[in-house]
Amino acid sequence: MKYCFYILALNLTLVQGDSVKEDKIKNLTKIQFDVTQNCGTETPFDNEFWNHKEDGLYVDIISGVPLFCSIHKYDSGSGWPSFYELINKDDFTFKEDYNLGYKRIEVRSKKANSHLGHVFDDGPGPKGLRYCINSASLKFIPLKDLKSKGYEDYLYLFEKK
């Protein structure tokens, strides 16, 4: 009987998680939906965060998982937000993408399974990576709001600045 309870509890948790994700997806704008669910791409230089300079976290628009930190953001000249570092590689999945006729590496949010953008090997720093990310896949949490929004565990990232 004990095992049945655990299985039931697990199933309820999964269903509740799916319904929360479905609610978030229903509330996306047209461009947010196209980018995250259909692997769309925003227009360069005409998106919310390409030239954004405020300190804070960029989180998954659907799951709220912190993905990128402003201290790792730089101007790549591409017209999209570009980062040279991930907060936690375990929060991402990567897959080969040949949609444009050549190989690219797609970057996806692991928890929400959302398309974020692509990673290229022409970035700065020791790893030489450029995570070219669509603004529509992100929500920005300003540094001053991290604690009140439940992201206080990430304040340490800004101590290095």
| Catalytic (active-site) positions | 132
**String of b and e for 91-120 (b: at least 16 CB within 10 Å)?**
bbeeeeeeeeeeebebbbbbbbebbbbbbb
- Residues near 93 by Cβ (< 8 Å), separated by ≥ 6? 108, 109, 110, 113
Report how far residue 69's alpha carbon sits from residue 140's, in angstroms, rounded to the nearest whole number: 10
CB atoms within 10 A of CB 142: 12
